[in-house]
Structure 1
Amino acid sequence: MRTLQTAALVASTTGAALMAGLFCAFAYAVMPGLSRGDDRAFVRTMQHINRAIINGWFLVPFLLPLPGLVLATVLAVRGHSPGALPWIVASLVCYGTAFLVTGTRNVPLNEALDKVGADAGPEQFRAARHAFEPGWVRWNTVRAVLHTLSLGALLWALHLHGAGTGG
């Protein structure tokens, strides 16, 4: 069971690291860069990004940590690395909350933005951008912080588990 827990922790840590990196990169590079462009370029670029990101390279590391963290939690409760349990649970709470933020905040904004046609006029692009950008940036920052906290908790749980002090 220790090997299974190690695998769950490593897989979850890898996914959490990739997601923290992705959402942080959007927070400190992608969105500030796009904010310098005009409304049409902003909207069209985000539409392209939102369509392109739905692929296996994104979905596997985005989805994998949740079942991995649940499994690691169950194993810790059963006596495998119980000292790591609070850190695993903290990671699960942060990751799960970030997952909910994505689904309830960022994705609906993406879907609304996707309805703007390529042939829209300048006023439509401006209105769409102003309805999208402030909220999306705010919620992306929230999920970037949550994913980073999840990663930190996972790294500590993995350290405790590997050091043998987790149980």
Structure 2
Amino acid sequence: MRHLQTGTLLITTLFTGLMAGLFAAFAYSVMPGLGRSSDHTFVEAMQGINKAIINPAFMLPFMGTIPLLGLAVALAWRGQSRPALPWLIAALVLYLMAFMVTSGVNVPLNDKLAQAGDPAHIRHLARWRSDFEGSWVAWNVVRALLHTAAFGCLTWALVLHGTHRTHESAGSGASLRTSPSLDARSASWATAPRMGISSSQATMAAVTAEGPGMSSGEASIIGTGDQSNRGWH
């Protein structure tokens, strides 16, 4: 389950980052560049871009991020990396908002521009451009910011997930390091009666075999127990 959430978070963060980068590139590079072109060039270029972008390389991360985010939230809700849950929920909300901007504003504008037909035969080309450009550019900035914010939330969730796993691994390692000494002492207590020695003597032998890692408190307790038992033999 932990590996599943780690993989889900990595892929989701990557996909969201790709979307944020794509729309940001339109905001600070593509659209300002097209804004300096003629009406014919602008309409022709946007129609071509809107057709070319419908491909698996775009649709997979754009559409696939939503179920992946839902899966990441569900896994965190069930107890895997719970500290990352608020950031995952925030990322999901932000991504859904950006998705609604794209599907509710930018895509209808693209479809409307496509219905205008061949730019060489469009009458009042400047009016078509004016109706499209201002709204599309403004809402593209909005979705770029939303995707970037979602990417930031996912990045921090990934950091928290890694930190949580590190702490869990450290705790498991400490538990494994203490268990052998406990097993050795338990075994010595169980075999002491058959060997004709006291439990304290068996414990002292087990501790001696464990090495110099025994604390002074442990040595004091064992020594006291051994002295008190000598009167019974």
Q: What residue is the counterpart of 1:116 in the other structure?
A: 116
Output the CA distance in 2 between the equivalents of 1:90 and 1:7: 19
Q: What residue is the counterpart of 1:77 in the other structure?
A: 77
The alignment covers a number of residue pairs equal to 166
Moved over 3 A (4+): none
Say which is worse superposed, 40-49 or 114-123, in terms of deviation.
114-123
Q: What residue is the counterpart of 1:6 in the other structure?
A: 6
Q: What residue is the counterpart of 1:68 in the other structure?
A: 68
Say which is worse superposed, 114-123 or 125-134, in terms of deviation.
114-123
Output the CA distance in 1 between the equivalents of 2:26 and 2:150: 18
1:93, CA displacement in angstroms?
0.5
Q: C-alpha root-mean-square deviation of aligned residues, in Å?
A: 1.4
Contact 2:73 2:88 in 1 (8 A): yes
Q: Percent identity?
A: 52
Output the CA distance in 2 between the equivalents of 1:121 and 1:74: 50
1:130, CA displacement in angstroms?
0.5
The alignment partner of 1:101 has SS state of helix
1:164, CA displacement in angstroms?
1.3
Contact 1:39 1:122 in 2 (8 A): no
Scaled by the length of structure 2, the TM-score of the pair is 0.69
1:13, CA displacement in angstroms?
0.4
Partner AA of 1:92 in structure 2: L
Q: What residue is the counterpart of 2:146 in the other structure?
A: 146
Contact 1:40 1:122 in 2 (8 A): no
Q: What residue is the counterpart of 2:22 in the other structure?
A: 22
Matched, 1:159 2:159: yes
Matched, 1:56 2:83: no
Output the CA distance in 2 between the equivalents of 1:9 and 1:135: 33
Contact 2:116 2:122 in 1 (8 A): no
The alignment partner of 1:164 has SS state of helix
Contact 2:98 2:146 in 1 (8 A): yes
The alignment partner of 2:152 has SS state of helix
Output the CA distance in 1 between the equivalents of 2:57 and 2:65: 14
Q: What residue is the counterpart of 1:35 in the other structure?
A: 35
Output the CA distance in 2 between the equivalents of 1:38 and 1:120: 15
Output the CA distance in 2 between the equivalents of 1:32 and 1:122: 24
Partner AA of 2:134 in structure 1: P
Scaled by the length of structure 1, the TM-score of the pair is 0.96
Output the CA distance in 1 between the equivalents of 2:75 and 2:121: 54
Contact 1:20 1:151 in 2 (8 A): yes
Partner AA of 2:121 in structure 1: A
Contact 1:11 1:64 in 2 (8 A): no
Which structure is richer in relative contact order (CA contacts within 8 A, separation 6 or more)? Answer: 1
Deviations 1:3-29 (A, max 9, x none): 111111111101001000000000000
Q: What residue is the counterpart of 2:102 in the other structure?
A: 102
